Structure 1
Amino acid sequence: LLCPTFFSHLPSVQPDMYPGNCWAFKGSQGYLVVRLSMKIYPTAFTLEHIPKTLSPTGNITSAPRNFSVYGLDDEYQEEGKLLGEYVYDQEGEPLQMFPVMEKNEDAFQIVELRIFSNWGHAEYTCLYRFRVHGKPAE
């Protein structure tokens, strides 16, 4: 796990998993761009949400559902290199790891998480934690 050098104040990159202590955004679509402390060859991503047992409502409809991850050459790049498309399973473990799906020879310092849908919450989506795993570039 490589720590971001900015946005470290966002709940989505902190180890806290208390209900409501998340990065919440309006609707079901949003994105997060993270600059890592160094260039890496990404190997996997981890997405985390609180379990239903910790949710005050007993459900986690605000959890991300469909998402993709891209490697970017700079934070202003509009279309990065697709590293994978995934589904967070609301019935699965709170912490879920997703391997890089698209063959890639490039190292990246900037990674973009794009969330396309949640599990049914009409007002907002909550991202509790997003992590990038990889091997440091030489």
Structure 2
Amino acid sequence: MPKPFTPVPRTAAADPLPDDGEDFLEGPVQSQRTGSAVSPSTIACLVLSIAVSVYLSVSVVPRFQPRVHDDPNQFGASLARFERRLSKLESDAGVLTHHQQSIGLLQGEAEQRLKKLEVLLTEVQTAHRGGKADQSDTAWTDPDYASYEANGRVVGHSDLYPRRGDPWLLPSRDGDWFLFSLPYVQGIPSLVASAVKKAFPVHPKASVWLLSAPSNGIELPGHCLPLNGSTGYVDVKLRRAIRLKSFSVEHIPRVSAFNITTAPKDMALYSLRGDQDGFEPRKLASFSYDIESTPVQTFPVLQGGESADDLVVSQLRLQVNSNHGSESYTCLYRLKIYGDPE
């Protein structure tokens, strides 16, 4: 009789074949393992990147890193050069500071001179507008009959002062000749001095210094008739006979004068009448030049002498009785004479 069938339980070891569920799970696993394999192009890219990195680290990166001098002598030389350049910069800075200080001083001096010129211009303008109350309003419109350009001339003067270095002592300056000034030089024998004075009684520049108008309209220092000492006189022949009304004496402004003490102070004006045998002086006015006033000071002439005819003059003498302190010489810059023609 046949035996009954008994089922045997399965085990994993006993059953190598997967069931349907195992086949369902195994399929995806097999696919993933197959897709994760590295391709040759990926390997090539990896090798190339490693090569580029090595190149950059060896060739490029060191160029951007600070150089370190391994040689102490080379480092010391570089440091010495740096110190020399630093010293030169400090020296240049010191020179620049010195120049800046010099420029500042020059600028200050220029400003002071500019202010001085402004004061001088103001004084000259004030003088030519009439100045103080003693200025004559009509004097600036009346003709000057003593003007060198109008043929006024200096015909006599007291001893002049031969200042060393003056152009009129040089034989080659403006046609002057030293003999004209020779009689006034100290130490010249009296016989020689008197002989030269007789030959040249009037210095040829006297009329230009006292009676001419400066080209720029302003008297310059030194352009004067220098009388020796603190007193003296000068005789002037006018263009023609006039009835004297006023006269003016001009000096350079105090602000531009090298030595204001040479300016005249107490003076007198005389008329000279006579002939070749001699002149008789007649006093017409006494006056004082004020160095604190304007450069040009005009003085009226009042009735003088015994009659009105005393004011009819053709030749005058300006007498200087004192100056403002100089014992060496007195400077006369300009004399102007105003009046009505006879």
TM-score by length of 2: 0.37
Match of 1:67 in 2: 267
Instruction: Give how far 1:69 is off.
Output: 0.3
Which one has a larger percent helix, Structure 1 or Structure 2? 2
Q: Give 1:89's aligned residue.
A: 290
Distance (whole Å) between structure 2 residues aligned to residue 9 and residue 37 of structure 1:
13
Match of 1:15 among 196, 201, 213: 213
Equivalent pair of 1:62/1:121 in contact (CA under 8 Å)? yes
Residue range with higher mean Cα deviation, 14-23 or 99-108: 99-108
Shift of 1:35: 0.7
Q: Is the 8 A contact 1:70 1:84 kept in 2?
A: yes
The 1-side partners of 2:210 and 2:152 are apart by: 14
Structure 1 CA distance for aligned equivalents of residues 220 and 334 of structure 2: 11
Offset at residue 130 of structure 1 (A): 0.6
Residue in structure 1 matched with residue 247 of structure 2 by the alignment: 45
What secondary structure does 1:37 align onto?
Answer: strand
Amino acid of the structure 1 residue aligned with 2:271: G
State which of 301, 306, 323 in structure 2 corresponds to 1:118.
323
> Match for 1:27 among 229, 239, 251?
229
In the TM superposition, what is the alpha-carbon distance from 1:131 to its structure 2 partner?
Answer: 0.9
Give, in whole Å, the separation in 1 of the partners of 2:327 and 2:207. Answer: 26
Structure 1 74/131 Cα, relative in aligned 2: closer, same or farther at 3 Å? farther
Count of aligned pairs between the two proteins: 134
* 1:82 CA displacement: 1.2
Letter in 1 for 2:308: E
Deviation at 1:105, TM superposition (A): 1.2
Question: Contact 1:85 / 1:101 at 8 angstroms: preserved in 2?
Answer: no
The aligned counterpart of 2:5 is none
Distance 1:83 1:35 in 2: 16
- Tell me if the contact between 1:82 and 1:102 (Cα under 8 Å) persists in the aligned partners: no
Aligned amino acid, residue 262 of structure 2? S
5+ long unaligned stretches in structure 2: 1-143, 155-205
The range that moved more, 7-16 or 113-122, is 7-16
SS in structure 2 at match of 1:67: strand
Q: Deviations over 1:37-81 (max 9, x none)?
A: 111111111000001111135xx110000000011123731x422
Write the distance in 2 (CA, Å) between the matches of 1:83 and 1:71.
7
**Structure 1 residue 6 corresponds to structure 2 residue 208:** no
For structure 1, which runs of at least 5 residues remain unmatched after alignment? none
Is 1:99 the counterpart of 2:300 in the alignment? yes
Return the index of the structure with the highest Cα Rg.
2
* Larger strand fraction of residues: 1
Instruction: Provide the C-alpha distance between the structure 2 equivalents of 1:122 and 1:133, rounded to a whole number of angstroms.
Output: 31
Query: 2: CA distance between counterparts of 1:62 and 1:102?
Result: 31
